[in-house]
């Protein structure tokens, strides 16, 4: 059974810092991995989708990497801003299954 873990559960950093969020998964047989952002009490916004054949994806200040063999992904946020404060979720798509989510990392950027 695929399990997804995100560490840390919460992170607080000063504005302007670069930071890394971690995601690990137990089974390397996945179609893709996706990072989402969730604001309090709201739905999910897709940030980056990495197919299994890819190593990384970039969008603006965000960069996500994927190492399938080790079951790890990282989300790098450059020059963090208070508006980046949210919960970040990663999810994997195993074969024949739907999205399996981690519990998320709650990020706070302090002005």
Enumerate binding residues for another protein (CB under 8 A): 4, 31-32, 34, 36, 41-46, 49, 51, 89, 91, 93, 95, 97-104
72: number of Cβ within 10 Å: 15
Measured between alpha carbons, how far is 60 from 111 in angstroms, rounded to an integer?
A: 21
The residue whose two tokens read 């960069």 is: 63
Closest approach, Cβ 16 to another protein, in A, equals 28
Give whichever of 70 and 97 is closer to another protein, judged by the CB atom: 97
> Which is nearer to another protein, 14 or 85 (by Cβ)?
85
Measured from the CB of residue 102, what is the shortest distance to another protein in angstroms? Answer: 5
- Rounded to the nearest 5 percent, the helix, strand and coil shares of the chain are 5, 55, 40
């Amino acid at each position: 059974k695929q399990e997804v873990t995100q560490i840390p559960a919460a992170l607080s950093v000063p504005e302007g810092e670069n930071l890394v969020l971690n995601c690990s998964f137990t089974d390397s047989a996945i179609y893709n991995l996706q990072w989402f952002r969730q604001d309090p009490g709201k739905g999910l916004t897709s940030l980056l989708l990495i197919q299994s054949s890819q190593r990384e994806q970039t969008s603006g200040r965000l960069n996500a990497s994927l190492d399938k063999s080790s079951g790890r992904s990282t989300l790098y946020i450059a020059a963090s801003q208070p508006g980046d404060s949210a919960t970040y979720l990663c999810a994997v798509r195993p074969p024949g299954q739907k999205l399996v989510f981690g519990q998320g990392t709650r990020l706070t950027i302090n002005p």
